[in-house]
Structure 1
Amino acid sequence: MKELQPTVKFIEQITRKAGRILLKHQGSIVKVADRGSGDYTTQADLASENYLVTAVKRRFPDHQILTEEEGIKEVSLQKPCWIIDPLDGTRNFTFGIPLWVVSVAFYDQGEGQIGAIFCPRLNEFFLAQKGQGATLNGQPIHVSQKSTLDQAFLVTNYFYSPEAAGKNTAWLNSLSGRILAASILNCSLLEICYIAAGRFDAGLYRGGKPWDWAAVKVIMEEAGGVMTKLDGKAADIFYPDHLFNNGVLHSAILATKP
C-alpha cells in the first residue's frame, strides 16, 4: 500500500534511533523495577520506550499505543495502534551479550500492517509490510524449506514459571531424538526473526504478551512462515502461547505434542 510508505520509513527511523539509545546505556545499566519471575526493567528500557512513545505521539497524536512498560490496556486493533517492546532480551543486554532487540509494530483494520525489529549490536534490521514481503537489511528473506523433523533446528524460550516450564519440557522431550537440534538464545523476538530468515526452522513459545508477538507476526507471515496457537488454531497476539515454523513442518510438530 503506497499510502503506508511514509509510515514504513517512520517506523524504521524510530526503531533504529531507539536502538542507538539503548547502545548508549549498555555500559551503565541500572535496574529500576522488578517485574517478578526473574524479569526486570532497566533505565535503558524506559529511555527507549520514552523516545518511541514520544515520537509516535508527536507524529500520530490520535493513534493508540500499547507498550511493555505500560502493560496491558484495552485497545482496538480495528483502529491505528502502535505496539512497542522497547527492549527484548533484557538479560542478554545486562550481561553484555549482543542478542537483544527493539520491536515496533503498526496495526490497523484488525491486522498487522508493519513490523520492525532491530538488533543494534549485530546491525540486523528486519522489516515487513503486509503484502510486500519481509526483508533483512533491505534484502528479501524467506523461511526454510526443511520438510522433515530430523532436519529441523528448533528454538524456544526459558521459563520462570514451573508450570510453563513443565509443559514445555514435556513437548521438547517428545521432540527429542526426532529433531536435528534445539537452542535458546534468550531473545525470543530475534529467534523468531531467524526462523523468518531461514536460519532456524521452528520455535515453541509460552508466556508472551502482545508486544512480543505483534511485529514478529507480520515478519513471519510475510516471510512465508506460519504462526499459530499451540493447538494449531489461528494466532492471536493477545494469547500467550504460540508455535512458529516454516509451514512445511507445522503438522509434524503439532503431532508430537504430548
Structure 2
Amino acid sequence: MGAEIGSGKLRELAVLIGVKTATKLKNEYTLIGNELSEVEKNETIKADLLAENYIVNQLKELGFKGKIVTEETGVIEVGDSDLIAIIDPLDGSINYSLGIPWFSISIAFAQRSRGQATLKDLVAGAVVPVLDPIPISFSVDRGVYIGETKIESPPARSFTDFIVVAFYGDEPEAMSIHSKIHAALAKKYGKIKARSLGSVALDLVYLSLRKIDLFIDARAKLRNIDLAAALGILRELNGTFKDIDGMDIDFSLEDIQPVRSLVASWSNTYLEDALDAVGDNIE
C-alpha cells in the first residue's frame, strides 16, 4: 500500500484502524480513573503506548508503505513511498487516566508532492472519540463523513444567544490573551460560554460541526500530530484558522513539529473578531 492508493481508500483506512483502536482503549477504560504515575504526570501513559503500538502494527499488517510520524516513537520508516501517516494515539491522556470521558484518536495521511510534506498535503484522516467510536473523517475534495454518512454542510445551532469558545491556556500570557478576546466578544455578541475540555482534536471536530464557535490555544504546547486530522476536517468544511498573530498556518508533517498557537472557527467573522481583539491590545 504505497503512493498509488487514493484519498478515499486512505480515509477508509484511517476509520478502520481508528475505530479498532478506540474499541481496544474503551475496553481498558474506567470512570474511576487511576492514580497518575510520574510518567503519566508528563502526559505519557500506558494507554498512549498501547494505542500507538496497535495503530503502527495495524498499518504494517495492512500493507502501509511510507513514513509514520507518531507521538511516542517519533518517525518510523516502513518502506519507500511518498505517503505519511500522522498519528496522535490518544489525545486527552490525562482525561483518560482520571476517568474524565473526553479523549480521542487521530490518524491522518499526507501525500508528499514536492519536497517536504506540509499541512497542505493532507489527503485524508479521521478523529475517533474513544467512548463513542463513531468516526468523523475526511478525504480531500470528497467531503466529511460522520460514520459513513457524508455531510454537505453542518446545520446551524438551534439556539444562537451565546458564543461557545474552547480555550486552552495555563500560563499568564495565554490567560491574558483569552481575557482580551473574551471581553471583546462579550461586548459585541453578549454571552460567551467558555470551555476547556482536554482533547484538542475533538474540540476542533465539534467546532467544524458548528457546536463550538471559536477555538483558541496560545500555550505554545501544540504539535502537528495533535492537529493534522482535525484541521483536515475543518478545512474540508470551509472552516478557517490562523495563529494568534493572524498569520496563516502551515507546518511540516515529516516529523513532530511544535505549533506555537492556533485560533480557529467555522466563521471568518468570529476568527477576525478574536484576532482583532489581540491586535488592538498589542497596539
Whether the 8 Å contact between 2:181 and 2:274 is mirrored in structure 1 is no
Q: 5 Å matches for 1:235-246?
A: 235-237=249-251, 238=257, 239-246=259-266
1:243 partner amino acid: V
Which residue in 1 is equivalent to 2:229? 215
- 1: CA distance, partners of 2:95 / 2:88: 15
- 1: CA distance, partners of 2:66 / 2:34: 31
1:156-179 per-position Cα deviation (integer Å, ceiling 9, x unaligned): 1242x4544444445445545445
Whether the 8 Å contact between 2:19 and 2:134 is mirrored in structure 1 is no
1:219 partner amino acid: I
RMSD: 3.0
Of 176-185 and 116-125, deviating more is 176-185
Sequence identity of aligned pairs in percent? 22
Cα offset, 1:233, TM superposition: 1.8
- 1:71 to 1:171, Cα distance in 2 relative to 1, 3 A: farther
Structure 1: 4+ residue segments shifted above 6 A = none
Taking structure 1 as the reference length, what is the TM-score of the superposition?
0.84
- 1:31 to 1:21, Cα distance in 2 relative to 1, 3 A: farther
1:101-156 per-position Cα deviation (integer Å, ceiling 9, x unaligned): 0000001134111120000313331101111111222331645769xx97422111
- 1:235 to 1:142, Cα distance in 2 relative to 1, 3 A: farther
Which residue in 2 is equivalent to 1:255? 276
2:273 partner amino acid: A
Cα offset, 1:82, TM superposition: 0.8
Q: 5 Å matches for 1:1-258?
A: 3-27=6-30, 34=39, 39-60=42-63, 62-71=65-74, 79-108=82-111, 109=113, 110=117, 111-139=121-149, 140=151, 142=153, 151-159=162-170, 161-179=171-189, 180-181=191-192, 182-206=194-218, 207-237=221-251, 238=257, 239-249=259-269, 250-257=271-278, 258=281
- 1: CA distance, partners of 2:172 / 2:214: 23
Cα offset, 1:10, TM superposition: 1.5
1:127 partner amino acid: S
Cα offset, 1:58, TM superposition: 3.5
- 1: CA distance, partners of 2:38 / 2:83: 30
- 1: CA distance, partners of 2:76 / 2:261: 19
2:90 partner amino acid: L
Q: Which has the larger radius of gyration?
A: 2
Q: Which structure 1 segments of 5+ residues have no match?
A: none
| SS of corresponding position for 2:249 | coil
RCO (CA 8 Å, sep 6+): is it higher in 1 or 2? 2
| SS of corresponding position for 2:43 | strand
Whether the 8 Å contact between 2:17 and 2:55 is mirrored in structure 1 is yes
Cα offset, 1:226, TM superposition: 0.7
- 1:33 to 1:141, Cα distance in 2 relative to 1, 3 A: farther
- 1: CA distance, partners of 2:201 / 2:54: 20
- 1:10 to 1:73, Cα distance in 2 relative to 1, 3 A: closer
- 1:176 to 1:29, Cα distance in 2 relative to 1, 3 A: same
- 1:29 to 1:69, Cα distance in 2 relative to 1, 3 A: farther
- 1: CA distance, partners of 2:55 / 2:203: 23
Whether the 8 Å contact between 2:200 and 2:227 is mirrored in structure 1 is no
1:76-110 per-position Cα deviation (integer Å, ceiling 9, x unaligned): xx932111001011122122222110000001134
| SS of corresponding position for 2:277 | coil
